[in-house]
Amino acid sequence: MAVIGEETWPAPAGWAGKIYSGGWRDAEGGTRQVIEPATGRTLAEVGVAGPADVARAGARAAHAAGDWAATPPSRRIEILLRVSAALRGHSATVRHWIVRESAGVPAKGDYEIAAALAQLTHAVALASLPQGEVLAPQISGGGSLAWRVPLGVVGVITPWNAPLLFAMRALAPALALGNAVLLKPDPLTPVSGGVLVAQLFEEAGLPDGVLHVLPGGVETGQAVAADPHIAMVSFTGSTEAGRAVARVAGEGLKRVSLELGGKNSIIVLEDADVEAAATAGAASSFGYQGQACVAAGRHLVHADLVEDYTDALVGHAKAMRVGDPSAEGVTIGPVISERQAARIERIVDESLAAGARLLTGGRRDGLFYPPTVLDRVKRTAPAFTEEIFGPVAPVVPFHSEAEAIELANDTAYGLTAAVHSHSVPRATAVAEQLRTGMAHINDATAKDAANAPFGGMGISGNGSRIGGTASLELFTQWRWMTMPGRT
């Protein structure tokens, strides 16, 4: 099977049709072709990990985890720094794969690389933090200590929309804190989310058996979640899939971190800068074709501004060029699959039938769905109630702050939000009343930072957070020890 011909790293002869588990090896689950969404071209072939592959990887990771946990933090830091250097050195190839495989424009590839580097840098800092406490003893002269220890083996299941970033977001802190990892990248992006990651860590000198990369679909993910050697599962993806992972992992009483979907609102108060708000709104709904859990799924705009706002938003939408993301000047690529394109189409069509008005876009060409703006969207319409995961901006007017807050909170999701106002204290007061794990003032809904606790409320997650010092709590567990007093 041919691999993208212009790429010499990673050498395809070593990984094509294989999984990474104790080196590159044939997979029990066979192979899978990697298809470029923009052209339908076959980019590569990867191995598919079957249940037996996962079982072998889990056992091997458990064996390696003890030595890795005992490795001095300085050595773990050294390896993570080498991964950073390797990622910088291979950034052109990594960007190429992100563009071709995930259908993001080059700027999206650059963003992922920069964000992955930030995750590695922050993980280095985590490994250097104090790992415990000296507690007040209960008896005179005694000792009482509490410290964090690695969980052991962590299973990481990542989605297709930011494959490199979401891999590094969990891998880097988990490895820095002494855990071994089984990584299952999404079957749509197994190279940028898996093969390249394995190559970077192998090049950096990560000890054998500490990292296993196991591409595959639902069966592979279930095997990872169920494997008895795995102490924790970190999952990023849809709420429906997250529930399934939680059920399987729950049977083994494993720790589970779920980062799931969102129905996020950008709220534009009557004193907001309309053009600035529309610019943030366009970035929130149309960036990477709206295929992000943090995308804006509702534009709640004060009735006094709604006409000016929609005009500005339509202007942004019409200025965007749709096409092959590898072509110069393209700002919107295709959505990831026919299934996703059909879902977006259904939501828009049903919302139009329910009374919404189409201001621009709304008609796809294969996987290419243009930036779309809807207004007069009813609260019962799918565009208001469902996570769209496509470049669609539903605009809904409101007449008071209380109504805006009620509209934004009218969802079971609770991931992120943005509030726009000339008055930062006023916007902050509104944001504090939203049931979301994150909120941004006079900015886009789609934001993340390596040093920030990322996660949501409601069905956007299970209350866990990843990023910042939250990762220290997530990927370790406490051990307490006492010593007797003098006799």
**Distance between CA 188 and CA 159 in Å, rounded?**
9
Q: What pLDDT score does 485 carry?
A: 78
Range of 66's domain? Answer: 12-260+462-479
- 141 with 288, same domain? no
Q: What pLDDT score does 5 carry?
A: 43
Q: Looking up tokens 């090049």, which residue turns up?
A: 203
- 328 with 229, same domain? no
In a domain, 123, yes or no: yes
Q: How would you write the chain as a 3-class SS string?
A: CCCCCCCCCCCHHHHCCEEECCCEEECCCCEEEEECCCCCCEEEEEECCCHHHHHHHHHHHHHHHHHHHHCCHHHHHHHHHHHHHHHHHCHHHHHHHHHHHHCCCHHHHHHHHHHHHHHHHHHHHHHHCCCEEECCCCCCCCEEEEEEEECCEEEEECCCCCHHHHHHHHHHHHHHCCCEEEEECCCCCCHHHHHHHHHHHHHHCCCCCCEEECCCCHHHHHHHHHCCCCCEEEEECCHHHHHHHHHHHHHCCCEEEEECCCCEEEEECCCCCHHHHHHHHHHHHHHHHHCCCCCEEEEEEECCCHHHHHHHHHHHHHHCCECCCCCCCCCECCCCCHHHHHHHHHHHHHHHHCCCEEEECCCCECCECCCEEEECCCCCCHHHHCCCCCCEEEEEEECCHHHHHHHHCCCCEECCEEEECCCHHHHHHHHCCCCCCCCEECCCCCCCCCCCCECCEECCECCCCECCCHHHHHCEEEEEEEECCCC
- 319 with 171, same domain? no
- 160 with 286, same domain? no
Catalytic residue among 7, 36, 112, 293: 293
In a domain, 455, yes or no: no
Phi and psi (nearest 5°) for 304?
Answer: -70, -20
In a domain, 93, yes or no: yes
In a domain, 384, yes or no: yes
CATH classification of the domain holding 383: 3.40.309.10
CATH classification of the domain holding 185: 3.40.605.10
Q: What pLDDT score does 487 carry?
A: 57
Q: What pLDDT score does 3 carry?
A: 47
Q: What pLDDT score does 446 carry?
A: 94
pTM over 0.85: yes
In a domain, 202, yes or no: yes
- 402 with 415, same domain? yes
Rg for the chain, CA atoms, rounded:
23
Count of C-beta atoms within a 10 Å radius of residue 4: 18
Residue 112 is among the residues annotated as catalytic for this protein: no
Could you give the strand order of the β-sheet that contains 296-302, starting from the edge strand earlier in sequence? 357-360, 372-375, 392-398, 296-302, 264-268, 417-420, 440-441
- 218 with 287, same domain? no
- Say if residues 323 and 330 touch (Cβ distance below 8 Å): yes
- 194 with 299, same domain? no
In a domain, 7, yes or no: no
Q: What pLDDT score does 140 carry?
A: 86
- 255 with 325, same domain? no
- 178 with 74, same domain? yes
Q: Give how many domains the chain has, as a whole number.
A: 2
- 283 with 222, same domain? no
In a domain, 457, yes or no: no
Q: What pLDDT score does 7 carry?
A: 53
- Say if residues 58 and 209 touch (Cβ distance below 8 Å): no
Residue 293 is among the residues annotated as catalytic for this protein: yes
- 232 with 306, same domain? no
Name the strand (E) or helix (H) holding 233: strand 232-236
- 216 with 326, same domain? no
Q: What pLDDT score does 381 carry?
A: 98
The angle at the Cα of 260, spanning 258 to 265, to the nearest 5 degrees, equals 140
Catalytic residue among 36, 101, 112, 259: 259
Q: Which residues of the chain have pLDDT under 50?
A: 1-3, 5-6
In a domain, 40, yes or no: yes
